[in-house]
A = this chain, B = another copy of it.
């Protein structure tokens, strides 16, 4: 390559495209079905029903404390499959690159994608790379789609949530949102927040034995836990009642949110699970999670009670506060 930056010609479909793909993509992901660069990857048959999801990533800045857009692109899609009760298997990787992007940044992102995929036990099997002119994207956008295999034990959905169910969080909430916000606003404090970006696939597989009593799981990304909980209860005769003292929040996240007057339940996590289960299973889930490093700080944060589709927080001061869905542009390009 004669230059250390992405050129428009890298997107032409000709020789430079081929060189870029061979050098940067095949070298990292070419040990499986992607090897011969077929139009489409032929995969081994699945034993169970396929589960399919997609996410695009436009996070800004591309790197933040705790990770970069590459980690996020793997974790986001792996996590959507996991909380649907599936074992994540394969990823696609769609890149939109801006002319002038430093190859060093691209390589760092691709290295992170490879490491995160390997850690999550998934394989990047197919991809696509486009280049747009300067000023037509913001460095680098990534899309991943994922295919997984449904675990038959799980039967999940908001319609399964009942009064008496417990609401659990797998760890401190809102760290990703707080870390990106701090990076973007230039807030530089000691022990500031670091993104929680991580795969939740082990948090799900370890509670497989409790599956019949687990009614709902979701990773609280954009919109945070407030959006997840509101979407569960909306239009149903149930209210989520949370206890503020129980909500796990790291000191760095708390510091940034207090500085900016923001609500932790509106902040995105990218490596946590909000799980709703029958009261009888709550201790078993907590015990299983406590054996994993990624389950440190897990807690029962509330319960479902008969109600009218609202999310209520019992505050530290002892009062009740409505936790609404975030309304507006809290934080664009968080993921």
Contact = CB atoms under 8 A, between A and B. Distances in A.
A148 to B, nearest CB: 7
B14 A328 contact: yes
A207 interface: no
Nearest to A52: B41
Main secondary structure of the interface of A (DSSP, over half): mixed
Interface residues of A, number: 84
A141 B40 contact: no
Contact of A12 (B56, B128, B326): B326
Given A43-B52, A48-B45, A147-B147, A268 B13 contact: yes
A56 B128 contact: yes
Interface string A116-128: 0000000001111
The CB with the most chain B CB atoms within 10 A, among A84, A94, A125, A138, is that of: A94
A53 interface: yes
A48 B231 CA distance: 36
The CB with the most chain B CB atoms within 10 A, among A7, A12, A45, A95, is that of: A12
Q: How many copies does the complex hold?
A: 2
A216 to B, nearest CB: 11
Contacts of A329: 7-9, 11-12
A12 B329 CA distance: 5
A4 B38 CA distance: 41
B136 A138 contact: yes
Interface stretch (A166-174, A221-229, A289-297, A310-318): A221-229
Interface in A246-305: 268
A13 B90 CA distance: 26
Interface in A54-99: 54-58, 79-81, 83-84, 86, 90, 92-96
Given A143-B94, A327-B14, A332-B133, A43 B51 contact: yes
B221 A13 contact: yes
Interface stretch (A15-23, A103-111, A179-187, A188-196): A15-23
A12 B222 contact: yes
A201 B96 CA distance: 27
Contacts of A128: 54-56
Interface of A: 7-9, 11-18, 36, 38-46, 48-58, 79-81, 83-84, 86, 90, 92-96, 125-128, 130-133, 135-138, 141, 143, 145-148, 150, 157-158, 218-219, 221-224, 227, 231, 268, 325-334
7 contacts: A12-B222, A13-B224, A14-B227, A43-B49, A45-B49, A45-B50, A54-B93
